[in-house]
A and B are shown apart, each in its own frame.
Chain A
Amino acid sequence: MIAPTDIPDRTNLQETFVLNLGPQHPAAHGVLRIKMTMDGEYVTRAEPIPGYIHRMHEKMGENRTWAQFLPNTGRVDYLSALHYNHAFVGVVERAARIEVPPRAEFIRVITSELNRISSHLVWWSAYLVDLGGFTPLLYAFDDREKILDLLEAVTGSRLTYCYFRFGGLCNDIDDVFITGTRAFVTQMRPRLKMYRDLVTDNIILRKRLEGIGPISAELCRKYGATGPVLRGAGIAYDVRKVEPYSVYSQFDFQIPVFPEGDAMARYRVRMAEMEQSLRIIEQALDKLPAGPVMGKVPRVLKLPAGDYCYAVEAARGRHMVRVVSDNKEIPYRVKLRTPSFSNLSLYQEASKGMILPDALALLGSLDLVIPDIDR
């Protein structure tokens, strides 16, 4: 690895050239453009240019009822839809003081953690394809398929879920789901061990990732980066622990933290997180209370005037919804604070002085979902 300080700054000698990456580039995994100013093979300035898949979800929020906005939330970060469902139903329940039955909260946790595993599996396989290893994708998508089948049976969709409702869920889970999820947990543990033995501990991968793209905890704080990026910089910040929502405080799980701050640390955080998610799912299935999955919700939902926030730990970090209500059926303002936006904003600073392939290894280690940035 070459430290950024070793690179002579020759920007002023006009020996640089501009390399356009995207908006259709396989390493961006979506329509993200990065304008790279290169000095030979070294990046002197990498300016991300987002906005190619901007859909103005926040304006859509201002011309439909609270409930009608719910399907939009699953389309912001399409790999982590249930977490975004959770944040939006959470903020409405907080404002309208809707009580959610415990069974519904447990099922929310189970399905959210399944969603987290499937999201991390997509990141893992796509990242390894970026780095030149194709085979893990075939294994990871096999595992992910099982999650999608489980979630499809209860939510009705395979990707852009809209399963949570204000006050609960639209469907209860059945025995098939419970048996299937238990079987998945049992199957997934040896698979994760296999991934660790064959990929994570592989000397080729470690030589490729260790020391690449260092991001310090201070840089994360200045840019508001969260999730595995922050935890890979040694800070145990996870909304599920720091700001417990739903019933997460009832489970015994750890927050994986790796202090190195490099791409390998971020990689390890996500791999260890999948194991913790399995633990949470297992405990939630064991403790799953009986009862209804829908609380009492007023037929016409108007939130008291004022503004309200609700944050969740999505697969990519802290996702916060801030709504402003003027006591009408339609939101006055919906703001979606998305983790990929903040995580990408530090890229220009973090990628300075890297060689191009390493800068792409850094980009992949941020686990970006482009619609999550553009909204």
Chain B
Amino acid sequence: MIPTLEQLAERFSRLVATTAVLPQSPLPVTIGSTPAVAVAPPVAAGADHTIAPTAPPPPVQTVDYSLKGYHLDASISPRQVVLAAEILDQNGFALDTITGVDWIAQNEMEVVYDFFHPLSILRVVVRTRLRRDQPELPTISPVFPGANWHERETHDFFGIRFSGHPDLTPLLLPEDADYHPLRKDFTA
């Protein structure tokens, strides 16, 4: 059950080409309006030889493992994270980690999901961007129960809300913490 990189890239390209979301997705309608292509993160100049540094990167791209440390980089809409997790789950992937990046200059929050395959060298990065003033997206903890803690930690540090999450109380911060220290505008 080890997929090839091409199969996965093709599967993710089909995902981002559609607007499919899970019917039971508990996502409010106010978010996730930005198209995935426009919100792709900056790519290292010269690191990817297939595109000019100025062109916006494609939403799904295979990258050179020796330069980046992963094989597939997929930028998707926040509504599709559960679908993406299901694709990876069906292909035997394990959840590596979930984290955020605060792009304060663009007024956006990025959520990055890392996956590894326990039986092969195949690393997948799934990323999505949210409006910084309303950072909310669905939880993937029903698909990967291990996401529960990673999402709680991301909520601790960035204030990103995972709708449908069973328990978003602080995991690493004190139980009464109302601050999010990894936000770039956080001051102690």
- Measured CB to CB, the residues of A under 8 A from B are 50-51, 54, 56, 58-59, 62, 91, 94-95, 97, 217, 220-225, 230, 235, 237, 242-243, 304-311, 318, 320, 322, 324, 332-333, 335, 337, 341-342, 345-346, 349, 374-375
A222 touches B46 (CB 8 A): no
Q: Give the distance in Å from the alpha carbon of A342 to the alpha carbon of B44 in the complex.
A: 30
Chain B positions within 8 Å of A94 at CB level: 66-69
Closest residue of B by beta carbon distance from A94: B69
Closest residue of B by beta carbon distance from A303: B44
Nearest CB on B from A218, distance (A): 10
B157 proximal to A (CB < 8 A) = yes
B146 touches A345 (CB 8 A): yes
Of B7-15, B16-24, B28-36, B171-179, the stretch lying at the interface with chain A is B171-179
Scan B56-75; emit 1 where CB is below 8 A from any A CB, else 0.
Answer: 00000000001111100000
Q: Give the distance in Å from the alpha carbon of A116 to the alpha carbon of B127 in the complex.
A: 34
B99 proximal to A (CB < 8 A) = yes
Closest residue of A by beta carbon distance from B157: A58
Q: Give the distance in Å from the alpha carbon of A239 to the alpha carbon of B101 in the complex.
A: 26
B69 touches A310 (CB 8 A): yes
The 9 closest A-B pairs by CB, nearest first: A306-B44, A309-B69, A223-B146, A337-B97, A51-B172, A304-B44, A221-B94, A224-B95, A54-B172
B92 touches A221 (CB 8 A): yes
Chain B positions within 8 Å of A58 at CB level: 157, 182
Q: How many residues of B contact A (CB 8 A)?
A: 43
Chain A positions within 8 Å of B114 at CB level: 309, 320, 322, 337
B68 touches A308 (CB 8 A): yes
A309 touches B146 (CB 8 A): no
- Measured CB to CB, the residues of B under 8 A from A are 41-47, 66-70, 92-97, 99, 101-102, 112, 114, 116, 118-121, 123, 125, 144-146, 148-149, 157, 170-174, 181-182
Contact of B68 among A223, A309, A320, A349 (CB under 8 A): A309
Chain A positions within 8 Å of B46 at CB level: 304
B116 touches A349 (CB 8 A): no
Q: Give the distance in Å from the alpha carbon of A91 to the alpha carbon of B67 in the complex.
A: 9
B182 touches A332 (CB 8 A): no
B94 touches A59 (CB 8 A): no
Q: Give the distance in Å from the alpha carbon of A375 to the alpha carbon of B172 in the complex.
A: 9
Chain A positions within 8 Å of B157 at CB level: 58
With contact pairs A307-B41, A333-B101 given, residues A220 and B94 touching in the complex (Cβ less than 8 Å): yes
| Interface contact tally, CB-CB below 8 A | 122
With contact pairs A242-B121, A243-B121, A306-B42 given, residues A346 and B146 touching in the complex (Cβ less than 8 Å): yes
Contact of B94 among A224, A243, A307 (CB under 8 A): A224
Closest residue of B by beta carbon distance from A56: B181
A59 touches B96 (CB 8 A): no
Closest residue of A by beta carbon distance from B116: A318
Contact of B182 among A59, A243, A342 (CB under 8 A): A59
Chain A positions within 8 Å of B44 at CB level: 95, 304-306
Nearest CB on A from B58, distance (A): 15
Q: Give the distance in Å from the alpha carbon of A349 to the alpha carbon of B121 in the complex.
A: 28
A342 touches B146 (CB 8 A): yes
Nearest CB on B from A51, distance (A): 4
With contact pairs A222-B145, A237-B118, A322-B112 given, residues A309 and B172 touching in the complex (Cβ less than 8 Å): no
Nearest CB on A from B169, distance (A): 10
A224 touches B45 (CB 8 A): no
Nearest CB on B from A37, distance (A): 15
Nearest CB on A from B144, distance (A): 6
Nearest CB on B from A167, distance (A): 17
Closest residue of B by beta carbon distance from A337: B97
B118 touches A305 (CB 8 A): no
Q: List 28 A-B contacts (CB under 8 A).
A: A51-B174, A62-B182, A91-B69, A95-B44, A221-B92, A221-B93, A222-B94, A223-B144, A223-B145, A223-B146, A237-B119, A243-B123, A304-B44, A304-B45, A305-B42, A305-B45, A306-B68, A307-B41, A308-B69, A309-B68, A309-B125, A322-B112, A332-B101, A335-B99, A337-B96, A341-B149, A342-B146, A346-B145
Chain B positions within 8 Å of A305 at CB level: 42, 44-45
Q: Give the distance in Å from the alpha carbon of A51 to the alpha carbon of B47 in the complex.
A: 37
Given A220-B118, A223-B146, 6 additional A-B pairs, CB 8 A: A222-B146, A304-B44, A304-B47, A310-B69, A320-B97, A342-B97
With contact pairs A59-B181, A305-B45 given, residues A224 and B146 touching in the complex (Cβ less than 8 Å): yes
